[in-house]
């Protein structure tokens, strides 16, 4: 299955799940929660304030070596948008990709997504846990401070 088939399939519209494709074209679904949506909103709002010279995209689809993955939140610079517009899925990851961990996500799944986003060009990947924990990664590994938003923890976990 191709990503265009997924987003244009009326049966898959309005499902309470986040949908992704693996490298074999098989659908992967994970249930959404209101808590998950709350974190998405907070992160998107904080990034909009800290990075006005770009765009925040929620549910951002990115074609990776393991199929189409969907970052819960992404920030793309004006240069990225000028180059790729709103292609679906993006052939390259925006500069910042954020995953909000759901109870259905395994540690291995999240680690693989971090690596996939970085391999596709993300400068940073954030992993947000619902127990008020935030991990940030670049190509060199874990970092303590983001280049995209200072004091982001206080804005996400207030």
Domain CATH number, residue 74: 3.90.1570.10
What is the pTM (predicted TM-score) of this model?
0.88
User: Is 90 part of a structural domain of the chain?
Assistant: yes
CA-CA distance, 97 to 117, in Å (whole number)? 7
Tokens standing for residue 95: 């500069």
Question: Domain limits at 80?
Answer: 32-156
User: Is 6 part of a structural domain of the chain?
Assistant: no
Percent of the chain whose predicted confidence (pLDDT) is above 90:
63
User: Is 113 part of a structural domain of the chain?
Assistant: yes
Q: Give the pLDDT of residue 60.
A: 97
What are the residue ranges in the chain where pLDDT is below 70?
15-16
Question: 46, 45, 51: which is closest to 78 by C-alpha?
Answer: 51
User: Is 127 part of a structural domain of the chain?
Assistant: yes
**Residues 44, 76 contacting (CB under 8 angstroms):** no
CA-CA distance, 135 to 101, in Å (whole number)? 11
Question: 105, 112, 96, 147: which is closest to 130 by C-alpha?
Answer: 105
**Residues 50, 73 contacting (CB under 8 angstroms):** no
Q: Give the pLDDT of residue 87.
A: 95
Tokens standing for residue 146: 């983001």
Q: Give the pLDDT of residue 67.
A: 93
Q: Which letter does DSSP use for residue 10 in this model?
A: G
User: Is 135 part of a structural domain of the chain?
Assistant: yes
List own/partner pairs for 104-111 with CB under 8 A and 24 or more apart: 104/30, 104/31, 105/30
Number of domains in the chain: 1
Which residue, chain included where needed, has tokens 């759901």? 102
């Amino acid at each position: 299955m191709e990503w265009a088939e997924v987003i244009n399939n009326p049966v898959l519209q309005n499902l309470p799940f986040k949908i992704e494709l693996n490298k074999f074209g098989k659908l992967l679904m994970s249930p959404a929660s209101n808590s998950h949506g709350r974190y998405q909103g907070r992160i998107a709002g904080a990034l909009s304030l800290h990075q006005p010279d770009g765009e925040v995209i929620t549910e951002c689809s990115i074609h990776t070596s393991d199929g189409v993955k969907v970052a819960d939140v992404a920030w793309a610079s004006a240069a990225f948008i000028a180059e790729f517009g709103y292609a679906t899925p993006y052939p390259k990851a925006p500069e910042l990709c954020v995953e909000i961990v759901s109870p259905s996500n395994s540690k291995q799944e999240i680690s693989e997504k971090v690596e996939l986003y970085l391999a596709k060009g993300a400068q940073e990947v954030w992993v947000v846990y619902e127990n008020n924990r935030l991990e940030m990664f670049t190509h060199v590994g874990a970092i303590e401070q983001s280049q995209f938003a200072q004091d982001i923890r206080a804005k996400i976990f207030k």
